[in-house]
Chains A and B, each alone.
Chain A
Amino acid sequence: MNNEILKLKNLKQYFPVGKGLNVRAVDGVSFKISQGEVMGLVGESGSGKSTIAYTVMGMYQQTNGEIIFKGQTITKEQKGRSKQFYRNAQIVFQDPSSSLNPYQDVKQILSLPLKVHKIVPRNEIEDKILEMLEMVELPPDFMYKSPNSIGGGERQLVAIARALCSNPKFIILDEPTSSLDVSIQAKILNMLMKLHAENRLTYMFITHDMGVMRNVSTKIAIMYLGKICEIAPTRTFYEEPRHPYTQMLLSAIPVISKEEEAMKPKRIRSRGEIPSPVNVPSGCSFHTRCPFKKEICIRVDPEMKEIVPEHFVRCHLFND
């Protein structure tokens, strides 16, 4: 397909921890993101969401598997990424106070990608920066402010502006709002969705907040211990969550209205903790916490199965 932006094929990312043991942070993940989609990647801490992001961006060298970006395959032998890649793919990190250099002002921060990718001639950089600030609705005098002197929400807007400087097609958002208060979170999310529509962007949106996900994404993938256990279009996902882990996750969310209460699957109460990724349980990795555990779950790792069109679940309950 032509409109595929990113495709992962059986991506694996292991980190050795000595004694021949590995942390299997990402353990065989495959999915694809098409042009214009907002794909949500949801999971608890340690499930490998951010590792996928960092591996795609070339910060880690993948242990195995293929990353196909705009039709070009990046194999595990390939070190680094081309300039062209970074021009088209960008990332916004969770914590803007550590992803922006405190010793630079906003002008310096924003001018670097413009210079590196030669987006505009040098004498037009200042105009371009003003344009970028306007795009994220920050006043022009922010140009000479340092990241320390502005609020958390504004800092994140600067980080978003920086990611947009090279006019990318694809942006990875790694929990862009989880360090912010809800009133500011709403503002940033709105901005992101506005930019998405205006610039024909494609997002991979990493978060652990299912409420945010419902309102921004078109497709959702749930991760557990380095594997994806369910992928579905957003609407069907919330109406009919299938995987027991997804149901557990949804039923654990504190909500603020009766309507939402009615949407939560009632049958599952959360129990247990996420096991260590060094000693991943045998068979289905969720079997230690799953209330519907069968004998086969302990032995055999289930395959991903398309139970209705576009809705994939990795669970023995759906393998008859």
Chain B
Amino acid sequence: MGNQLLKLENLSIWYNTYRGYAEVVDRINMRVTHGEKVGLVGESGCGKTTTMKTILRVLDPDSAYIPEGGRILFKGQDVLSMDKGQLQRLRRKGVSMISQSPMSALNPVLTIGTQLLDIIKYSGCYENAGKKEMVEIAKEAITSVMLSDPERIMNSYPHQLSGGMRQRICIASSLVTPKDLLIADEPCTALDVTIQDQIHRMLNELVEEKGCSLIMITHSLGVARELVDRIYIMYGGTIVENCYTKDLFENPSHPYTKGLMDCVPRLYGGGLSAGIYGYIPDYVQPPKGCRFCPRCAEAMDICREQKPPLYEIEDGHYVACFRRYAGKHSDTKGGGAGHEQ
């Protein structure tokens, strides 16, 4: 794959806590190609946001420790060994992130106009532009997120806008300068479904129009299904399944993915599922083998001992589960008794 934009290799992230290191992200691999829309789906506390923040290197190095062996490659450059100047360039021109709550992402004491113009001015993308041109660019950005009356919005403060409008402004400000990668961290969890629907449609159009890649972090399988091409399912700091969106919904393979799907109440009724037994693992003392195994109904002996690697069970469909591997290859050794299906 030649046109790889972002690659995470064997990346772990540990948080320093008073009980010891919490292994919040455990040896994950991810890749995003140019122009691809990728979803990172998981429940709260599974390490989605931590991973994304690490790509931008915005976590406090005193509390977040990245063990040896992990690498983040952005356009072939190692993000983890970047110096200050390189990092600044990465954040200015490479990657931008839309946060979950638009209110805390915008400065409450500056007008929208000031904030947008700052971004345009200091991004380094429009060095020769005069003030007037910059204002034009800002207005264009506001119109591009389907807000009318850019003049008025430039002069208003964040609290004068509704939640949906604020999130649109955040999207506008992250796309006002050309970027290669946009990370959207649950941009619509705080918003209503009808607004969410509009913002997702708009985000989709913008990303396609500007030709940048998108990583969509979400806890909703439905949102991922509508928006992205490929999905990573994350559980307890590990990637448990990775495949194209269509394959995931036709053939969910990891027990966690299946459980998660059963939990979503359906519009056609059919009753409620029982949920997934148990709770997410303790990160300071995580399970030794597969992190899902204490909650897994299909766990075998090997699951408790070893971390399952990602197996390619079908073309482009990877699952980190010994059970799936055992189902595919009847010659596996070390599995529990009678697991062949």
- Residues of A near any B CB (own CB < 8 A): 44-45, 151, 181-187, 189-190, 193, 208-212, 214-216, 234-235, 238, 248-257, 259-260, 263-264, 269-271, 273-274
In terms of DSSP, what is the predominant structure of the interface of chain A?
helix
* Chain A neighbourhood of B59, CB < 8 A: none
Encoded as 1 (CB less than 8 Å from any A CB) or 0, chain B from 239 to 276 comes to 00000000001000000000111111111111111111
Give bound CA distance, A252 to B220, whole Å.
14
* Chain B neighbourhood of A249, CB < 8 A: 193-194
Q: Are B266 and A215 in contact (CB under 8 A)?
A: yes
Interface size grouping (class) on chain B: 35 or more
CB of B164 within 8 A of chain A?
yes
Which of the residues A45, A184, A252, A256 comes within 8 Å of B221, measured between beta carbons? A256
Nearest CB of B to A94, in Å: 14
Give bound CA distance, A215 to B267, whole Å.
8
Q: Are A253 and B265 in contact (CB under 8 A)?
A: no
* B 143-198 contacts with A by CB, 8 A: 162, 164-165, 192-198
Which of B19-27, B129-137, B222-230, B320-328 faces chain A?
B222-230
Query: Do A190 and B272 form a contact, CB below 8 Å, given A182-B43, A214-B267, A256-B221?
Result: yes
Nearest CB of B to A287, in Å: 15
CB of B81 within 8 A of chain A?
no
Which of the residues A189, A216, A263 comes within 8 Å of B267, measured between beta carbons? A263
Q: Are B193 and A183 in contact (CB under 8 A)?
A: no
Q: Are B268 and A260 in contact (CB under 8 A)?
A: yes
Which residue, A44, A183, A187, A216, has most C-beta atoms of chain B within 10 A? Answer: A183
* Chain B neighbourhood of A255, CB < 8 A: 222, 225, 266-267
Closest chain A residue, CB of each to CB of B224 = A254
CB of B44 within 8 A of chain A?
yes
Q: Are B193 and A193 in contact (CB under 8 A)?
A: no
Closest chain A residue, CB of each to CB of B195 = A273
Give bound CA distance, A262 to B129, whole Å.
50
Nearest CB of B to A16, in Å: 21
Query: Do A271 and B198 form a contact, CB below 8 Å, given A183-B260, A186-B272, A216-B272?
Result: yes
Q: 27 interchain pairs (CB within 8 A)? A: A44-B192, A44-B193, A45-B192, A182-B263, A183-B276, A184-B275, A185-B275, A189-B272, A190-B272, A190-B274, A208-B193, A209-B265, A210-B267, A212-B265, A216-B272, A234-B269, A249-B194, A252-B196, A252-B197, A255-B267, A256-B249, A256-B261, A259-B266, A260-B268, A263-B267, A264-B267, A273-B162
Closest chain B residue, CB of each to CB of A209 = B265
Which of the residues B43, B266, B274 comes within 8 Å of A181, measured between beta carbons? B43
Q: Are B194 and A44 in contact (CB under 8 A)?
A: yes
- Residues of B near any A CB (own CB < 8 A): 43-44, 162, 164-165, 192-198, 200-201, 219-223, 225-226, 249, 259-276, 279
Q: Are B268 and A252 in contact (CB under 8 A)?
A: no
Q: Are A256 and B274 in contact (CB under 8 A)?
A: no
Q: Are A185 and B196 in contact (CB under 8 A)?
A: no
Nearest CB of A to B278, in Å: 9
Closest chain A residue, CB of each to CB of B191 = A45
* Chain B neighbourhood of A182, CB < 8 A: 43, 219, 260, 263-264
Closest chain A residue, CB of each to CB of B222 = A254
* Chain A neighbourhood of B276, CB < 8 A: 183, 186
Closest chain B residue, CB of each to CB of A184 = B275
* Chain B neighbourhood of A44, CB < 8 A: 192-194
Query: Do A183 and B263 form a contact, CB below 8 Å, given A190-B274, A273-B195?
Result: yes
